[in-house]
A and B are shown apart, each in its own frame.
Chain A
Amino acid sequence: MTNDKTAEQNMLHRMIVDFTTNELAPLDMKIDQLGDYPDGLFQKVIDNGLLGMTLPRQYGGAGFDYVATAQAINAMAFGNASMAVTLEGHFKTLEQLLKYGQPELLEKYLPTATKRIFAFSQTESSGGSNPKGISTRAVKQGDNWVITGDKIMITNGGLAQVYCVLAKTEDDQMAVFLVDQDMPGFSFGKREDFIGLRGTPVGEIVMDHIKVPGYHLLGSIGQGLEIGNNAHDDARVLMGAVLAGIMQHELKIAVDYAKQRKALDTPLYELQTIQEKITDIAIAKQNTELLYQHGAELKVAGEPYSKVAAMAKSYGSRSAVSSGDKALQVLAGYGYSREYPIEHLIRDARAMEIAEGTVEKMNTEISLKEVNK
């Protein structure tokens, strides 16, 4: 693998660093306290064309590949993980549309994806990401489908205007359909009050006999699980990038403090116990970077990337939580204070031990891939 970035990637990266430094990082603490994005902030993300980063040029997007996009998400997460996850949710959904969507659907919807968030929803109250327990129904009516059901814990739920939902057909086959918030029968449910990534809205949608044209079906009937899994893989690569960004933030806080603070007359960074913590964080951050970049490169190259994507998120989420704990210990009392961002970085990282498949679920997937080689 290579770290050579193209000139386009370099410029995108610098632009995201500038945007993050000026617009997001100063609001990082505020977003956590507010539990939302301050007024106008998300509009800036739209106005600066960030929603169209991955979208092909023919639909009005910039057409950056997943390697460049993952690096951009990583740079953004260093300043604010919530907004990075909001973009992750949008990009992974667009990937499924591009891969499985019918031309008529793409022509109709993708040109709006530079201004509107698209979300992917699988989870229902009957059970986590496990598709077996899906009770959302899709009933065929002539050329149309009628969708009824309730989806919860959707990343960007409430903020997104377009949703790809996993449903069961009458003959118990899984399929994914696209619904639009403007369609009759669509309504929003409640927003979750989560402890971390508090800027990213996570919410519920209720579908009451929403009628969609036949071309709103992604892929074919029976392909729903495959699409769901593929969405997981695409999400996990980008979440690896988010986690590496969080760890970079944790590392910076710990290093800055260790350089300034003295214990008696010895600078903190000269103490071996502190050096150990800094080293652990630095190695975990570097490993997660290598994992998510490798995952993105495999995807771009058309190679299988599911396992590496799961590794990036499994390893990355656990490491970001434990690295946050180590950074907290370096800062001691200040680390434990809400005035410093470490406590919210730990809460942010914690979300990714659960979302897009729990660590346990991913570890099962990874180990089965090793066993069944």
Chain B
Amino acid sequence: MNNEIWVFVQLNGQNVEPTSLQLITKARDIAGDRPVVALVAETESMNVEATVKEYGPDKMVILKDDQFHNASDGEIADALDQVVTDLKPNSLLFPATVLGRSVAPRLQAKLKTGLTADCLDIYFDGDDLVQVKPTYGDDIMCEIICPDVRPQMATIRPNTFKAVKAATDTETVNYSFTFHPEANIEVVSETPVINSAANISDAKTVIALGRGANNEKVIAKAEKLAGKLGGMVGVSRPLTDNEGFSHENQIGQSGNTIAPDLLINFGISGAVQYAVGIENAKQIVSINTDAKAPIFDKSDYAFVGDADEFMSALLDQVR
């Protein structure tokens, strides 16, 4: 047993999944004198070490095998089991992505240890990794520890922490292991998806337009922006009278309740009837010419100014 904190680095195609980098930063923040180790499983031709290194892990443990391309959860868990059983980290963190939440419990079962899902915070209390996770929605939090078994495992919700680059001398270990193919399962293909929803209640990104953005030019740009962001256009009550919008697009008490990851409000004042429909949005950005508009109290980001100008700037800068 050592005192290392390991972070599983998830790859999406050729890229590093951002949560993994966020976890390296978080691990460094709570580590004290514990070394932070990035655990990478990649194909021979891939080389994400340079990217991972920028975030300052003390060590990288690299597993290389071409069969990691389209590997099954069971195959990944088997490979990780070999290195974890051998090198015995103190703690092991996964992104709470679909992949992380699928591989980590299989590994947990092999290691017969604890695993806490979807944590919003972690910290050390002595040698115990205290894992803070929501339960029953996000209204109640639990602190969970795994006092007697190591490694202490957790999956951590994406975008909970910020990734910060850090310069460190990173040691690289190429770990040799045996890839054991799983006989009864085959990943046939992977197809990228653009997040699109048919219904505004399910949309991940919503561009919302209100009385202050009620002109054809802005509406046309909003549609374009929604297309670029893979989102949908919603409206407050006054715009439901416009041709092209209806009750289906309406946000608010007498319309739809939405819960997107990102909501951008253009020209919406933020009356109570509207505000109740957006309470569950994760990030809210609001643009209004009136600095005293109530919508700003409900927003994470506020821009006092012209809707059209801001929209144009967004269209320019969003790739």
- Residues on A close to B: CB < 8 A? 256, 260-262, 334, 339-340
Contacts and interface: CB of A to CB of B under 8 A. Distances in A.
A340 B276 CA distance: 15
B254 to A, nearest CB: 5
A64 to B, nearest CB: 33
Contacts of A261: 272
B70 interface: no
B43 interface: no
B176 interface: no
A339 B254 contact: yes
A262 to B, nearest CB: 8
Nearest to B240: A339
Name the 6 nearest CB pairs between A and B, nearest first.
A260-B272, A339-B254, A261-B272, A260-B276, A340-B254, A334-B273
Contacts, number: 12
A260 B277 CA distance: 12
Interface string B215-245: 0000000000000000000000100000000
A260 B252 CA distance: 12
Nearest to B255: A339
Nearest to B276: A260
Nearest to A253: B253
Contacts of A340: 254
Nearest to B237: A339
B248 to A, nearest CB: 11
Contacts of A262: 272
A30 B17 CA distance: 45
A256 B253 CA distance: 10
A262 B237 CA distance: 19
Interface residues of B, number: 7
Given A260-B253, A260-B272, 10 more contacts: A256-B253, A260-B273, A260-B275, A260-B276, A261-B272, A262-B272, A334-B273, A339-B237, A339-B254, A340-B254
Interface in B275-319: 275-276
Interface of B is mostly: helix
Interface of A is mostly: mixed
Contacts of B237: 339
A104 to B, nearest CB: 52
A24 to B, nearest CB: 17
A260 B271 CA distance: 10
Contacts of B275: 260
A209 B258 CA distance: 59
A334 B254 CA distance: 10
A261 B275 CA distance: 11
Contacts of A256: 253
12 contacts: A256-B253, A260-B253, A260-B272, A260-B273, A260-B275, A260-B276, A261-B272, A262-B272, A334-B273, A339-B237, A339-B254, A340-B254
Contacts of A339: 237, 254
Contacts of B254: 339-340
B295 to A, nearest CB: 15
Contacts of B272: 260-262
Contacts of B273: 260, 334
A261 B271 CA distance: 9
A340 B273 CA distance: 12
Nearest to A30: B247
A273 to B, nearest CB: 19
B240 to A, nearest CB: 9
A262 B273 CA distance: 12
A261 B272 CA distance: 7
Nearest to A341: B254
Nearest to A262: B272
A225 to B, nearest CB: 47
A262 B272 CA distance: 9
A340 B237 CA distance: 12
Nearest to A339: B254
A269 to B, nearest CB: 13
A261 B253 CA distance: 12
Contacts of B253: 256, 260
Most chain B CB atoms below 10 A, which of A256, A260, A334, A339? A339
Interface string B263-277: 000000000110110
A339 B254 CA distance: 7
A340 to B, nearest CB: 6
Contacts of A260: 253, 272-273, 275-276
A200 to B, nearest CB: 23
A49 to B, nearest CB: 28
A267 to B, nearest CB: 11
Nearest to B275: A260
A29 B253 CA distance: 14
A288 B275 CA distance: 34
Interface string B150-185: 000000000000000000000000000000000000
Contacts of B276: 260
B104 to A, nearest CB: 33
A123 B272 CA distance: 48
B255 to A, nearest CB: 9
A340 B253 CA distance: 9
A91 B253 CA distance: 35
A340 B275 CA distance: 17
Nearest to A334: B273
A260 B273 CA distance: 8
A147 B236 CA distance: 58
B199 to A, nearest CB: 11
Nearest to A337: B254
Nearest to B254: A339
A24 B276 CA distance: 22
Nearest to B272: A260
Nearest to A261: B272
A62 to B, nearest CB: 33
A260 B272 CA distance: 7
A334 B253 CA distance: 11
A256 B273 CA distance: 11
Interface in B188-222: none
A364 B231 CA distance: 62
B257 to A, nearest CB: 12
B245 to A, nearest CB: 14
A253 to B, nearest CB: 10
